[in-house]
Amino acid sequence: MRRVVMVAALAAGLATGVSAGAQVVLTEPSAPLLPQNFGEWKQTSEAAPVGELTLTTVSKQALEECGPERSKVTDYVRGGRKIHVEAIQFGDRTGAFSAYTLVKRAGMREAKDLGSRDAVGDGAVLFTVSASVVLISGASATDVASLKPLAAVMPKVAGNKGVAPLLPTLLPAKGLVNGSLRYALGPATYAAEGGVLPANELEFSKAGEAVTAEYSGKGGKETLTVLMYPTPAIAGKITQEITDALPKLGPGFATARVKRDAEVVSLASGALPAEEAQRLVESVHLRQDFAVDPDVQPVEPTEHTKVIQTYSLLTSIAVLAGVLMSAAVLLGLFLGGGRALYRVARGKPAAVEVEFLSLHLATENKPVQFQASDPTDAV
């Protein structure tokens, strides 16, 4: 009975609010960033040991460039063992991947056993899933299987926010040093990841992106830097600036080579001969790869896309209507004009039909006169 009264009171309150013109907005609460329990791991109030690698020591300015939205820290225990879990959710998957490459340390073994990508080192497991990055202290490669339930329950983002960045997929696979890929969305991230170019001169403020990776060849190691910009004009300007600055960047750029492909700028610098450096930049091509990604939800069309689709549909309808009208006019001219020409060629008037446009109802109109039928007027 009490529940019925409460429901009635709630309904009355909503009705009053609506009648008063108040706007009722219902929002779906966000899923927890970290669960209370997952698999065999249970949340504990006892503090777990934190290793040398922690998100608190990462450059705050670099992380801000990745677009963090919320974070969570929780300790878990299983069979007497404790782990310390740090998680950050970013605005989209692009920012999460940039943060993942920022946090990852040299020597960590990369794989795809957890989430989209994971890196396992001495006493630490790092992985990214959808738009989140998770760092686990006190874990090792033997704990990866028990951590899969955590990756499965992490919040997922849909639409454009769940699309993986294109730029890292442009790197050639041949000769790539495992774990050397770094992805940056701003100058602070690029500098913190060991970029070889002056970070403040790469126009990150114009929606620029950068990926850096190490390649191993017969002549030594080479650093491949690939930049992407919204327009070819910006990319062309950066290409010229990099080319002009190469003689001032030191001996490591003596055999460096630069190439631009539409919106993409590639730079190979290091110990490789000029010919190998040129082949390396030539292997970077702007292309669109299509793959099935379990982390990505279907992309909903944006308002801009809907407008373009509607405009295209209306344009097609207008073109079709114009073609049909033109065909009707041509057909009428062909049939009517052809018949008239045929009659004129036979020495007859072009048309002898009675005028049907008038009903001759007015007294001043003369009565209609019908001519005698002529058997030769069949045409």
Residues 142-163 pLDDT 10s:
999 999 999 999 999 988 899 9
Q: What is the pLDDT of residue 122?
A: 82
Does 27 fall in a domain? no
Q: Is the pLDDT of residue 30 over 90?
A: no
Q: Same structural domain for residues 171 and 269?
A: yes
Q: Are residues 150 and 46 in the same domain?
A: yes
Last residue of a domain, one of 106, 131, 165: 165
**Average pLDDT in the chain:** 83
Is pLDDT larger for residue 378 or for residue 275?
A: 275
**Is position 13 within any domain?**
no
pLDDT for res 329: 85
Q: Is residue 151 part of a domain?
A: yes
Q: Does residue 316 share a domain with residue 261?
A: no
Residue 194 lies in a domain: yes
Average pLDDT over residues 108-113: 90
For the cut 90, the answer to whether the pLDDT of residue 94 exceeds it is yes
Asked which of 165, 191, 209 is the last residue of a domain, the reply is: 165
Q: Which domain holds residue 365?
A: 303-378
Confidence of residue 364 (pLDDT cuts 50, 70, 90): low
Clarify whether residues 146 and 62 are in a common domain: yes
Residue 119 and residue 175 in one domain: no
Residue 8 has pLDDT above 70, yes or no: no
Rounded mean pLDDT, 331-358: 70
Please report whether residue 26 resides in a domain: no
What amino acid occupies position 4? V
In this prediction, residue 362 carries a pLDDT of: 61
**Band of residue 257 on the pLDDT scale cut at 50, 70, 90:** very high
For the chain, the domain total comes to: 3
Q: What's phi and psi for 2, nearest 5 deg?
A: -65, -40
Tell me, yes or no, whether 307 and 259 share the same domain. no
Task: Please indicate, yes or no, if residue 324 is contained in any of the structural domains.
Answer: yes
Higher pLDDT, 344 or 137: 137
